[in-house]
Structure 1
Amino acid sequence: MRTTVLAALIAFALPAAVLAQSSAPSAPSSYVTAAVNDPARKDDVANDARRKIADLMTFSEVKPGQKVLELIPGSGYFTRVFSAVVGQAGHVYVVWPNEYAKESESDVAGSKALVAQPHYANVSVLTQPANQLSVPQPVDVVFTSQNYHDYPDKFMGKVDPAVLNKQVFAALKPGGLYVIVDHVAETGSGLRDTDTLHRIDPAIVKKEVEAAGFVFDGESSVLRNPADPHNIKVFDKSIRGHTDQFVYRFRKPG
């Protein structure tokens, strides 16, 4: 009995962020489940188990009616689910930095084709310089998957992560969330492998984002893979699609 009481007292005393770090994945809400099951996503379903879409949406805490900013949306895999979760009362802004857009013209065209569909009328495409992130209105969630590591690289204009993170901070409402998913690099490597292996040390990401004023709010292990050696390119056929990825959530103090 004393052990149970003591454990409860310790848990009560721990900061919420510490508890969030160790919490198990929560069950998806009804609106996340409905969004994942949207028939318009039929071509994405084959990747859902591998990419843990329901877990990531739940961890991101996105809700109906909210505003979301998605940095570098790729094929629109996450965009389609965000759109369904926030609904017509919400909005999704997908941001293509001009520098990245030059390297991924087909994906940019895909984003523009997506927003032309009535089903995705709550999605807008924004193109802007990589070092000048902005959004028409404050948002509840900023989300980026597998692209934070690109910003310091030459093709993006070597954007200082400090600049990016301060602009994300400014784009968010008080209490808003910044969710980063990326490929894990070797411990202590910092930014060394961002351009060569397309990986980044999670520790440097945490340090950089907290320096912008964010509070670390937890992490999810749903995309971790201990079999990844961390020292090969993410496109290597032995690991592509199954890299070890960290999922961090940061909160703007409210």
Structure 2
Amino acid sequence: MKLIHWVAGMACAVSMAGAAQANPLQQAIDGEHRTAKYAARDEYRHPAETLEFFQVKPDMAVVEIWPGGGWYTEILAPALKDEGTFYAAHFPKDTQVGYFKRSREAFEKRMAEKKDMYGAVKLTEFAPGGDSEIAPAGSADAVLTFRNVHNWMGGNNEQAAFKTFYKALKPGGVLGVVEHRAKPGTSREDMKKSGYVTQDYVIELAKNAGFELEEASEINANPKDTADHPKGVWTLPPSLRLGDEDKDKYLAIGESDRMTLRFRKPKS
């Protein structure tokens, strides 16, 4: 009887291992290629659950908006390189903003140094309010943006951003949004200052662009976060804008409370 149980258990373990091995997204998340400091943030960003919620599959055409240093690119690029298409819509190449310029150059360097992993990445650009093409119109299965909406609010370009996403997506395509979450009723000015945006406002932006809200998830919620800090969301890790001041307190809170929203471009 014990032998039967052992054999059954081994068969189950082999089956589970095979399923994990067959999942390129999970393979990428677990891969040794990932930057250690990035992987350490998985406990706050829940990449496996988030990408599953956004219904990302290895054979899809996916656009990541403003990938920055490449936190999600480390996962998406290798997961999509064989069967899918990955567009990294980075900061404009001709930007005059110093941070944007340095970030894009570092990203390009990284792509060039690891061509075996990133050689298939299609580097495009995104300038909210501009005419940049993040992917050919109507070609993308999913457009994903992580913690960016507050940045576009500074230039009053947030609505234009959502219209660009709508244009790039196929009918029936998914827009996935993760954003720092402000308390309901927070003023627009306070949103811009703090980096936290109300969930209702993000939903309004998407609906105004033509999207339908399909589902909201609490995958990236953090009840410890009051969304009321001296330096806004940047008070918390990973930024820790106050340096050593109350550092242990903010590390104990962790990263921000975040909304995770899945929108759909209507099929007709």
TM bucket normalised to smaller: 0.7 to 0.9
Q: How much has 1:77 moved relative to structure 2?
A: 0.9
Q: Which residue of 1 aligns with 2:216?
A: 219
Superimposed CA distance per residue, residues 179-232 of structure 1 (whole angstroms, 9 cap, x where no aligned partner) = 111111121125232331111111111011012111111122121112211222
1:34 to 21, 24, 27: 27
Output aligned runs, 1:164-203, within 5 Å.
164-203=161-200
Q: Would you say the 8 A contact 1:216–1:249 is kept in 2?
A: yes
What is the alpha-carbon distance in structure 2 between the residues aligned to residue 101 and residue 139 of structure 1? 28
2:260 to 228, 247, 250: 247
Q: Which residue of 1 aligns with 2:108?
A: 112
In structure 2, relative to structure 1, the CA distance for the partners of 1:235 and 1:144 (3 Å cut) is same
What is the alpha-carbon distance in structure 1 between the residues aligned to residue 97 and residue 55 of structure 2? 28
Q: Which residue of 1 aligns with 2:73?
A: 79
Q: Which residue of 2 aligns with 1:23?
A: none
SS in 2 for 1:70: strand
1:50 to 44, 50, 53: 44
Q: Which residue of 1 aligns with 2:119?
A: 121
SS in 2 for 1:195: helix
Q: Would you say the 8 A contact 2:66–2:126 is kept in 1?
A: no
Letter of the 1:147 counterpart: N
Superimposed CA distance per residue, residues 135-158 of structure 1 (whole angstroms, 9 cap, x where no aligned partner) = 3422111111111111120xxx33
Q: Would you say the 8 A contact 1:190–1:203 is kept in 2?
A: no
Give the greater-gyration-radius structure (CA).
2
Structure 1 gaps of 5+ residues are: 1-26
Letter of the 1:245 counterpart: R
What is the alpha-carbon distance in structure 1 between the residues aligned to residue 133 and residue 67 of structure 2? 16
In structure 2, relative to structure 1, the CA distance for the partners of 1:112 and 1:218 (3 Å cut) is same
Letter of the 1:105 counterpart: K
SS in 2 for 1:68: strand
SS in 2 for 1:196: helix
Q: Which residue of 2 aligns with 1:152?
A: 153
Q: Would you say the 8 A contact 1:186–1:231 is kept in 2?
A: no
What is the alpha-carbon distance in structure 2 between the residues aligned to residue 166 and residue 124 of structure 1? 21
Indicate the percent of aligned positions where both proteins have the same amino acid.
25
Q: Would you say the 8 A contact 2:59–2:83 is kept in 1?
A: yes
What is the alpha-carbon distance in structure 2 between the residues aligned to residue 220 and residue 92 of structure 1? 24
Letter of the 2:201 counterpart: I
RMSD over equivalenced CA pairs, Å: 2.3
Q: How much has 1:125 moved relative to structure 2?
A: 2.3
Structure 2 gaps of 5+ residues are: 1-18, 241-248
In structure 2, relative to structure 1, the CA distance for the partners of 1:74 and 1:100 (3 Å cut) is farther
Letter of the 1:124 counterpart: K
- TM-score scaled by structure 1? 0.80
Q: Which residue of 2 aligns with 1:102?
A: 98
Letter of the 2:176 counterpart: V
In structure 2, relative to structure 1, the CA distance for the partners of 1:134 and 1:192 (3 Å cut) is same
More deviation in 113-122 or 96-105? 96-105
More deviation in 224-233 or 40-49? 40-49
Q: Would you say the 8 A contact 1:177–1:252 is kept in 2?
A: yes
What is the alpha-carbon distance in structure 2 between the residues aligned to residue 130 and residue 36 of structure 1? 29
More deviation in 225-234 or 188-197? 188-197
- TM-score scaled by structure 2? 0.76
